[in-house]
Structure 1
Amino acid sequence: MTTAADIMHPGAQWIPANETLDRAAQLMRELDIGALPVADPQDPNERMCGIITDRDIVVGCIASGHDPARVTAGELCKGTPRWISTDASVDDVLQEMESNQIRRLPVIDGNKRLVGMISEADLAHHLTDDQLAQFVERVYA
């Protein structure tokens, strides 16, 4: 059985909730990624409290007239964070992403540590054309 660990992009990095959005954007540029999980730096287990995307920074901060050097990642992230465990099946991954209409999904290990991310590109490499078409239809509907 193919698992989330098999299809994820390993080595995902999170950003502390108290870090500014300009730093988040710089980190995204350095890592060549479009999303960062946000973790509570006060939590010894580094629990995820959200996720921010490059689009969130542009639309939710800059286009709204806010200064990304003064707005934190924690202020921008919203909603209930979603994730999947490393041993989840591809069907479970698709279900989580489709039911929540999300395009990126953090992957956690048995110790609840962030170990990777699954994006649309990762899915494209591991799904059949029919599975991918169904995913796109459900997430973008």
Structure 2
Amino acid sequence: MTTAADIMSPGAQWIPDTETLDRAAQLMREHDVGALPVSDENERLCGIVTDRDIVVHCIAAGHDPARVTAGDLCRGTPRWISSSASVEEVLQEMEIHQIRRLPVIDGDKRLVGMISEADLARSLTDDQIGEFVEHVYA
């Protein structure tokens, strides 16, 4: 059985919820990613901040990314998946919640990676990709 750990991009890193969005953008550039998981003071997942969030909800809204924190943009219940979850469980989680990036957590509740659309494209059949696209972009 193929698991989340098999298809994820390893080495994802947290950004603290107290960190500013300009720093988040710098980390995204350094790591060539479009999203960062956000952690609270207990290193628990409290959300994800994306490059689009920074542009739309901060800069375009007239706010200063040097003063707005990653935690300020986190909304709703953060979604994640266990590293041992099956690919079917990964797809179900992403499709039901219409999300394009999914943090992967190990048994100790530590962030071990992220699953993105690119990871899915490398690992899934054309039929699975088609179904994913149909559900997430519908």
Same fold (TM over 0.5): yes
CA RMSD, aligned part only?
0.4
CA–CA distance in structure 2, aligned partners of residues 36 and 57 of structure 1? 11
* Identity of matched residues, %: 80
CA–CA distance in structure 2, aligned partners of residues 67 and 137 of structure 1? 36
**Ranges of 4+ aligned residues in structure 1 off by more than 2 Å:** none
Counterpart residue type for residue 107 of structure 2: G
Does 2:103 correspond to 1:106? yes
TM-score by length of 2: 0.99
Unaligned runs of 5+ in 1: none
CA–CA distance in structure 1, aligned partners of residues 48 and 123 of structure 2? 24
CA–CA distance in structure 2, aligned partners of residues 62 and 136 of structure 1? 29
2:58 to 55, 61, 78: 61
Shift of 1:79: 1.0
1:129 to 120, 126, 131: 126
Does 2:51 correspond to 1:51? no
Secondary structure of the 1:107 match is strand
> Alpha-carbon deviations, 1:78-105, whole Å to 9, x = none?
1110000000000000000000000000
1:19-34 matched pairs, under 5 angstroms: 19-34=19-34
2:72 to 68, 71, 75: 75
